[in-house]
């Protein structure tokens, strides 16, 4: 059945919690901090989202998924805004999101380690905990991984290679 009463902003936030990131399905788009604002203006719902990376191919899918989820609740008048500034940062990832990420097998970002310092050539690798055996004994394989938001690491104890959601 389609709901007929007017949606509230609170209800829309609840619905958005059910929209998952297409590349890391264990995370909702709220866990990632992609949704920046929800506003009701008259009959129209405005949702503002921001990309994690400039070339993030998931943005179109995310916008479609938001549209479909709200449509299922009978919300047809929806405008999705793409906002670039302030630029997305891993600081916006929720604590719950970080825990889910680690459980899923991806090491969550270690805050304050973004590569903004050019003097740090061949600098020490960020100490990242292995999401499988929880060892801190790991090393960076490459700053670039399976998607734009991840780096490749390997655990020196259990030897398992793993993805690290790099700090940004």
Partner 1 sequence: MADSLTTAPIPTETQTQLFHYVVQLADTSLILAHRLSEWCGHGPILEQDLALANIALDFLGEARSYYQYAAELEGQGRTEDDLAYLRSAVEYRNPLLVEQPNGDFAATIVRQFIYDTFHYHLLQQLQAGPDTQLAAIAEKSVKEAAYHLKWSSEWVIRLGDGTEESRRRVEQAIAGLWRYAGELTTPNPTEKELQAAGLVPDYTAMLPQMEAHIARVFAEATLPVPQGVFMQKGGKDGRHTEYLGYLLTELQYMQRTYPGLTW
Instruction: Provide the binding-site residues for partner 1, judged by CB under 8 A.
Output: 51, 53-57, 83-88, 114-116, 118, 120-122, 141-146, 148, 152, 168
Token pair listed for 138: 């790991």
Which of residues 135 and 143 has its CB atom nearest to partner 1 in the complex? Answer: 143
Give me the least distance between CB of 83 and partner 1, in Å please: 6
Beta strand segments in 12-62, E: 35-41, 44-49
Secondary structure of residue 54 in the 3-state scheme:
coil
Give me the least distance between CB of 74 and partner 1, in Å please: 28
Which of residues 130 and 167 has its CB atom nearest to partner 1 in the complex? Answer: 167
Which of residues 25 and 86 has its CB atom nearest to partner 1 in the complex? Answer: 86
Q: Could you give the angle at the alpha carbon of 50 between the alpha carbons of 47 and 56, nearest 5°?
A: 125
Give me the least distance between CB of 147 and partner 1, in Å please: 8
Cβ-in-10-Å burial (0-12, 13-18, 19+) of 151 comes to buried
Q: What is the DSSP string of 91-150?
A: GGS-HHHHHHHHHHTEEPP-TT--S--GGGTTPPPP----TTT--S-EEEEES--SSTTE
Nearby residues of 104 by Cβ (< 8 Å), 6 or more positions away = 24, 26, 27, 131
Which of residues 15 and 154 has its CB atom nearest to partner 1 in the complex? Answer: 154
Give me the least distance between CB of 115 and partner 1, in Å please: 5
Which of residues 14 and 143 has its CB atom nearest to partner 1 in the complex? Answer: 143
Give me the least distance between CB of 88 and partner 1, in Å please: 8
């Amino acid at each position: 059945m389609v709901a007929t009463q007017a949606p509230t902003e609170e209800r829309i936030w609840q619905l958005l919690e059910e929209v998952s990131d297409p590349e890391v399905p264990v995370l909702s788009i709220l866990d990632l901090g992609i949704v920046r604002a929800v506003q009701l203006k008259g009959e129209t719902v405005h949702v503002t989202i921001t990309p994690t990376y400039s070339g993030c191919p998931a943005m179109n899918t995310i916008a479609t998924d938001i549209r479909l989820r709200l449509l299922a609740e009978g919300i047809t008048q929806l405008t999705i805004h793409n906002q670039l500034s302030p630029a997305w940062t891993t600081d916006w990832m929720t604590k719950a999101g970080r825990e889910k990420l680690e459980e899923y097998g991806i090491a969550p970002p270690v805050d304050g380690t973004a590569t903004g310092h050019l003097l740090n050539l061949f600098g020490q690798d960020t100490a990242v905990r292995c999401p499988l055996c929880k060892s801190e004994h790991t090393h960076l394989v490459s700053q670039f991984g399976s998607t734009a938001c991840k780096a490749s690491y390997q655990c020196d104890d259990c030897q398992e290679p793993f993805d690290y959601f790099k700090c940004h």
